[in-house]
Amino acid sequence: MAAPERTVVIRPRTVLSVLGLALALAVVLWIAWAARDVIAWIMIAAFLAMALNPAVDFFERRRLRRAHAAVLVFVLALVALGGLSYLLIPPIVSQVTDFSKAIPDIVDDLTRGRGALGFLQRDYQIVDRIRAAVEGDGLASVLGFTEAGLSFARSVVTAVVGAVTIAFLTLFLLLDGRRLVRGFLDLVPERSRPRWKRVGQGVYRTVGGYVTGNILISVIAGVVSTPVFYGLGIPYAVSLGVVVALFDLVPLAGATIAALVVVLVAVATKGWVIALAVGIFLLVYQQFENHVLQPLIYGRTVSISPVVVLAAVLIGASLAGVLGALGAIPVAGTLQVIGRELLEARRERVVAAGPGPPT
């Protein structure tokens, strides 16, 4: 016996609602993509505000008003950044200048197949291949250089504007962060407010702990590496220490990239023995950082699986480059907190519904 046919009636209102939602989602995604730089600045400012907020709470507990505490912490952060720049920028500029002056000699040795990197020309003819590629481009390479220069100038201006914007956004979030959170909670139904409050506290603990810990670990890496580079007689030690600290901000791959850069500089300037010693030191320090520093500093604030960390970093790097890799772990931690709270809410609903009828 054939089953009876079933007719599904879809109302025009349903179709229009679906189309409207799809159109609204497309518009939101388009706006987000067009304003991706501003959104990135807002996210960075939010992360920095979460990292500085414990200091604001500390001064607030000392009977200082919230606004005064926020301004004080912001000024202290700027003073610390300015002092660090004052100490590091002059030797960095001097060492970069010396390195640029040494480049012709390094290139000459490489061209003639001499020195620690001479095997690149002797065995693989790297210099000849690069020269042939440049000569093949001809005038286009000159025009491309001009275009690259303009692009670099635009990038510098954008970076300066972004830094100033992030600084003011961070200050405003420190001043009005609590009021914004309270305003958001007022929009949530009263029965859901405890759950949203737990989510906010979990996100704050995860993101703030990660940002503060990551900056502290990177500073330690730079401070520890610079004297070792000096002791081994590697030139440009301060610059290389800053390189180690900056790349150490990038999870997983940053320390490895920094080690490759430092080892290459050591090979080009001091030879393979010193380069091997530098590589061993950076390898040992990386293991110490992974197994001692990170568990000690992060503690229980950032409990994310290494697989999730790797996946998040790869996805973030593919979407937004270095900035995406830096923000990948805080975003993954936020999603983990939200997902855990959703699972807990579902478990509570199942328990409240009670056991089903007997089968």
pLDDT at 224: 92
What is the per-residue pLDDT across 153-205, written as a single tens digit (0 to 9) for each? 677 677 778 888 888 888 888 888 888 888 887 888 888 788 888 888 888 87
By CB neighbour count within 10 A (0-12 exposed, 13-18 middle, 19+ buried), where does 29 fall? Answer: exposed
246: in domain: yes
pLDDT at 85: 73
157: in domain: no
What is the per-residue pLDDT across 341-350, written as a single tens digit (0 to 9) for each? 888 878 877 7
pLDDT at 357: 57
Mean pLDDT to the nearest integer, 241-266? 84
72: in domain: no
Number of domains in the chain: 1
CA distance 91 to 86: 9
Structure tokens at 121: 């020309």
User: Domain limits at 297?
Assistant: 192-347
Confidence of residue 143 (pLDDT cuts 50, 70, 90): very low
Checking if the pLDDT of 140 tops 50, the result is: no
- 48: amino acid identity, one letter: L
327: in domain: yes
300: in domain: yes
For the residues of 166-228, what is the DSSP string, one character each?
HHHHHHHHHHHHHHHHHHHHHHS-GGGHHHHHHHHHHHHHHHHHHHHHHHHHHHHHHHHHHHH
What is the per-residue pLDDT across 71-119, written as a single tens digit (0 to 9) for each? 898 898 888 888 777 776 776 667 666 666 666 566 656 566 555 555 5
266: in domain: yes
283: in domain: yes
57: in domain: no
pTM value > 0.75 = no
